[in-house]
Amino acid sequence: MRIEWTSYIQTNNELLDSQHKELFSRMNRYFECTECNSTHQELIDTLNYLVEYVKTHFKTEDDIMTEIEYTRQKEHRRSHRELTERLVEIYKELIDNGASDELHDKLARLCQVWYVAHINDFDKRLASYIKAYNRAHNNV
């Protein structure tokens, strides 16, 4: 399984898009490990690699929202928390119970539906706000 980056989910914000591409790369790395019958520890390490980057990415967005006084930051941050919580639950399940088709399906659905939906909704609105903010403050 691969999660493809497409122009459909592009925000047209260089920083956000570059970080989203990295997220997709890390997601795909995990799925490659599942297809190659990697060890339990390799799967844990790879999923942890994704979890840590998700936290880094969300912190970047949170910092930007604070800096520009984004009007919808409360709901955006709530989405980040929910997404992180679901990902960490999957991570803990992997640690506790090992890999399974059900677990991989949960992660695939989370990655394909939630991340793409989050990017297309929350992050595109944020990117538009950033662009307008930069124009208004001559930071084009």
Chain segment 38-50, per-residue pLDDT in tens: 899 999 999 999 9
- Cβ pair 98, 40 in contact under 8 A: yes
Query: Look-up: residue for tokens 């208004």?
Result: 136
Residue 111 has what pLDDT?
85
Residue 52 has what pLDDT?
95
Residue 1 has what pLDDT?
72
Closest CA to 119 of 22, 4, 11: 11
Q: Specify the pTM.
A: 0.90
- Cβ pair 24, 3 in contact under 8 A: yes
Q: State which residues of the chain have pLDDT below 70.
A: 139-140
Instruction: Name the fold adopted by 14-136.
Output: Four Helix Bundle (Hemerythrin (Met), subunit A) (1.20.120)
Question: Domain coordinates of the chain in residue numbers?
Answer: 14-136
- Cβ pair 19, 119 in contact under 8 A: no
C-alpha dist (Å) from residue 117 to 7, 8, 39, 44, 97: 14, 11, 31, 26, 28
Q: Which residues contact 140 (CB under 8 A, 6 or more apart)?
A: 134
